[in-house]
C-alpha cells in the first residue's frame, strides 16, 4: 500500500466518524489500583462479602462519572 492510499484510507475512516486516539501508560497508582481490584475480584468470587461490597462500591462510583474509564484514558492524537 502506498502512502497516498494509506492517507486516503485514514481520511475515509475519519470522514465516517472514526477517531484516532492513543491510550496513556498506566501510572504506578493505576497499577496498584488494578491489583487491588483484581484481589477483591478473586476474593468476591470465593464468597467474601467485604470484597463484594468493595467491588459494588467501585461499580457504583464508576457509573456516576460523566466519562467512562476508556474515555478518561484516551489521549487525543494530534
Total domains in the chain come to 1
Residue 5 domain-assigned?
no
Which residues neighbour 34 within 8 Å (Cβ) at sequence distance 6 or greater?
26
Cross-strand partners of 74: 23
Residue 9 domain-assigned?
no
Residue 15 domain-assigned?
no
Residue 6 domain-assigned?
no
Cell of 62: 464508576
Residue 10 domain-assigned?
no
pTM for this model (two decimals)? 0.54
Average pLDDT, 10 consecutive residues per value, the chain (78 residues)? 88 88 82 94 94 94 82 66
**Whats the size of the chain, residue-wise?**
78
Residue 71 domain-assigned?
yes
Cα gap 21→36, rounded to integer Å: 28
Residue 12 domain-assigned?
no
Residue-number span of the structural domain to which 76 is assigned = 24-78
Amino acid at each position: 500500500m502506498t502512502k497516498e492510499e494509506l492517507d486516503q484510507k485514514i481520511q475515509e475512516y475519519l470522514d465516517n466518524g472514526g477517531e484516532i486516539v492513543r491510550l496513556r501508560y498506566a501510572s504506578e497508582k493505576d497499577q496498584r489500583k488494578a491489583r487491588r481490584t483484581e484481589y477483591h475480584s478473586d476474593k468476591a468470587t470465593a464468597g467474601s462479602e467485604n470484597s463484594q461490597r468493595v467491588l459494588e462500591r467501585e461499580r457504583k462510583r464508576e457509573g456516576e462519572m460523566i466519562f467512562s474509564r476508556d474515555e478518561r484514558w484516551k489521549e487525543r492524537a494530534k
